[in-house]
Amino acid sequence: MRTDSSPGNLPAREHLPAGSAGTPVLDVVIPVYNEEKDLQPCVMRLHEHLRRTFPYEFRITIADNASTDATPRVAARLDQEIPEVRSFRLEEKGRGRALRTVWSASDAPVLAYMDVDLSTDLNALLPLVAPLISGHSDLAIGSRLSRSSRVVRGAKREFISRTYNLILRGSLQARFSDAQCGFKAIRRDVAQVLLPLVEDTGWFFDTEMLVLAERAGLRIHEVPVDWVDDPDSTVHIVRTATDDLKGVWRVGRALATGSLPLDRLARPFGDDPRDRELTDVPKGLARQLVGFCVVGALSTLFYLLLYSGFRTFSGSQVANALALLVSAVANTAANRRLTFGVRGRGGAVRHQAQGLVVFGVGLVLTSGSLAALNAATTDPGHSTELAVLIAANLAATVLRFLLFRAWVFPDRRDETPSPVVAGHNPASPTYSTAARPPYDTGPFGPDRFGADHFRTDQFRAGEAADLTRGDATMQLQAVRPYDDEPNPRDAR
């Protein structure tokens, strides 16, 4: 699993500011493989829709996945004839590889993709990207499983889609409704940090991206869509389903072992500038309480089972000590990962040592309660012992949570602030990103998008994602307040 993302938390979400015309706000990627017949009608229809309805500058990028038919020639012709279209050639197949490569190289602040068959109604495109432009959300997906969606497709595909999403909910605790809809968007500042963590290069790419984003606490906006199945789809269902299940297993194992640095995707507390001025705000207290209670309840059941088992061949004090020791180790490990979100093996031994100290406190409380019971009666019943132990464990649980939160797993995020990947200066009407070279040379210079000379560039997968970048500033096209104002694109 990849762990080479840039360090630091994401900045607070901001509304992308309006400014003079320049860099496109939206870059829509269409990954294709041997689509010589459908490519031109798709691009023409999408371009007309965006030109007519989208209030900002836009770009359409054709990502050719090593096609062997006439698709590259069709893409090159569209690149030359339409100013807002560019073509991008990869020498290796893989939808995920194409999206990662093109998105990593794009200079647009909002990145989207859709399938070439345009099964999704294009009227959902503006609602898809609007929450990303406004700063409300980090990612956006189209959903065919929403109550208000209208979908036309066969029973087989309907069954597969719903079964797959049930698997995601049951195994990875995914809360988004539709992982496979080919209609998604992401903010570029999020993509720069999230994409290096996504390992898949095929159809599981966007599912993995969504699962990691959701686990990191990023906001995912869902848009109900109208969708009509393409009967000529070339997707191999069985092979795709097999690869997806392998991906579910791989991602689930990585999440369980804590090998992913998802804390690098965390947003600051609150997106309102006034919220960022607050200090000493408890972070995740309610969630920690719920997680601790769940872990505590399971640990108590585990402890009682162990105590009952050890009691069959030992005295009450020995059985209590052994049961509490075993359950304390499991409790500390579970709370470390699930309640306080500590991932990886760093500090695990120290945390277990501190957990044993907390265990000692619990041992004193429960052993003292048993001693008091034995002093009060010479032959207490087993049910009475269990009742006393439950009461003592409740008291020990409250103290354990306080010690865990304040001593074993304290929140140290504010002690050493880390650099952010992207930043925004509210006082300036520009959108600032990490350092990158001026776009006056190479395949992504202004001559690619603003001049009369256009060409189709070829890259091996991953080359564009590895480009080094210097300082750059982008300004967005202001929304026209009145419909009778001229569209600057009409002049072209």
Q: What is the dihedral of CA 67, 73, 77, 78, to 10 degrees?
A: -20
Q: Where on the phi/psi map is residue 317: left (φ > 0), alpha (ψ -120 to 50), or beta?
A: alpha
287 or 414, which is more confident: 287
Give me the residue label for tokens 């009691």. Answer: 311
* pLDDT value of position 257: 80
- Which secondary structure element, helix H or strand E, spans residue 327, and what is its range? helix 316-334
Q: What is the pLDDT of residues 91-144, one digit of tens each?
A: 888 889 999 999 999 999 999 999 888 888 999 999 999 999 998 999 999 998
186-195 pLDDT tens trace: 999 999 999 9
How many whole angstroms separate alpha carbon 461 and alpha carbon 93?
9
Q: How far apart are CA 415 and CA 351, in angstroms?
A: 19
Q: Rounded to two decimals, what is the model's pTM?
A: 0.58
Task: Give the chain's mean pLDDT.
Answer: 76
Q: What is the pLDDT of residues 261-276, one digit of tens each?
A: 887 777 655 555 544 4
pLDDT in tens, 291-347: 788 888 888 888 888 988 888 888 888 888 888 788 888 888 888 887 887 777 778
